[in-house]
Amino acid sequence: MQIDALASNVLAAPLHTSADQAALVRELNVRLEGAAPLKILEAAIHEIFPNKIALVSSFGAESALLLHFLAEIDRATPVLFLDTGKHFDETLMYRDILAGRFDFKDLRSIEPDTALLARHDPDGTLWQTNPDLCCQLRKVDPLQKALEPFDAWITGRKRYQNRTRAGLPTFESLDGRIKVNPLARLSAADIEAAFKQFKLPQHPLYYDGFKSIGCKPCTLRVADGADARSGRWAGTDKSECGIHR
């Protein structure tokens, strides 16, 4: 797949300014509109951001599909997992299962700064009193540091997951980097069908009612017919950890 001339010109120099990034994002969203996830990933990894892109995975519900696509394209692409210290044991087990299945060559476990945790969350209960700061310490700050070598990163977000993601584009710019959302257009039915087609193992908690799985203290089962992410920070007005905004 060849990208258009405008994108080629933008990519000829580093993406130093927000205007550079905005131009590239506009071009890529036009050029790859309607493209299949594999084609989007292949273009992003091999053509647009070679050696400058990573995939960030929660190893939660539905994560196996994006990881399957990545393994089809390039198992050496870095995969970043935020080990917050608050995950379900089942999530860590699922991570190990998928890592063994796909044999990624560069799977990185990203952990929070222990000194900051000792200062701000010594007893591990910050999630109860200040969930935004808890996410900042355990997710946002560690990921920003881990992403420093990269110009872009890949997410598994989909438009159907909740109302705040309904207009999710395939490419977007945030905090000096470009985010690639190759699964944005897929429906819940598409995801289910792909899991069956590729015989992918599901997260152990998925069939117990957990449709979106984050840290254990802040994740509940999802009621029938509710948004997939309604079990995250239930009972509060919080809907994102801060990584996506």
DSSP string for 87-153: B-HHHHHHHHHHHHHHT-S-EEEE---HHHHHHH-TTS-HHHH-HHHHHIIIIIHHHHHHTTT-SEE
Catalytic residues: 241
What is residue 16's predicted lDDT score, i.e. its pLDDT?
46
What is residue 22's predicted lDDT score, i.e. its pLDDT?
86
The pLDDT tens digits of the residues spanning 13-47 come to: 444 456 788 889 999 999 998 899 999 999 999 99
What is residue 225's predicted lDDT score, i.e. its pLDDT?
76
What is residue 11's predicted lDDT score, i.e. its pLDDT?
47
CATH classification at residue 210 = 3.40.50.620
What is residue 120's predicted lDDT score, i.e. its pLDDT?
97
Tell whether the model's pLDDT for residue 79 goes beyond 90: yes
For residue 130, is it within any domain?
A: yes
For residue 170, is it within any domain?
A: yes
For residue 9, is it within any domain?
A: no
This prediction's pTM: 0.87
The pLDDT tens digits of the residues spanning 95-151 come to: 999 999 999 999 999 999 999 999 999 999 999 999 999 999 999 999 999 999 999
Tell whether the model's pLDDT for residue 238 goes beyond 80: no
What is residue 162's predicted lDDT score, i.e. its pLDDT?
62
Q: Cα(233)–Cα(240) distance, rounded to whole angstroms?
A: 9
Q: How far is CA 83 from the centre of its chain?
A: 14
- DSSP code for 160: G
Tell whether the model's pLDDT for residue 177 goes beyond 60: yes
**Mean pLDDT of all residues in 218-245:** 77
SS3 56: strand
For residue 205, is it within any domain?
A: yes
What is residue 13's predicted lDDT score, i.e. its pLDDT?
42
For residue 203, is it within any domain?
A: yes
Q: Cα(45)–Cα(73) distance, rounded to whole angstroms?
A: 8
For residue 198, is it within any domain?
A: yes
What is residue 142's predicted lDDT score, i.e. its pLDDT?
97
| Strand bridging mode 152-154 / 177-180 | parallel
What is residue 31's predicted lDDT score, i.e. its pLDDT?
93
**Mean pLDDT of all residues in 178-196:** 94
Domain, as residue range, for 148: 49-218
Domains in the chain, number: 1
For residue 192, is it within any domain?
A: yes
User: Which two three-digit tokens encode residue 66?
Assistant: 């994006």
Q: What percent of the chain has a predicted confidence (pLDDT) above 90? A: 68
Question: Nearest-CA neighbor of 178 among 152, 145, 144, 154?
Answer: 152
What is residue 102's predicted lDDT score, i.e. its pLDDT?
98
**Size of the chain in residues:** 245
User: Which two three-digit tokens encode residue 21?
Assistant: 């990034």
**Mean pLDDT of all residues in 182-205:** 95
- What is the average pLDDT value for the chain, to the nearest integer? 88
What is residue 245's predicted lDDT score, i.e. its pLDDT?
61
Q: How far is CA 101 from the centre of its chain?
A: 19
For residue 99, is it within any domain?
A: yes
What is residue 164's predicted lDDT score, i.e. its pLDDT?
65
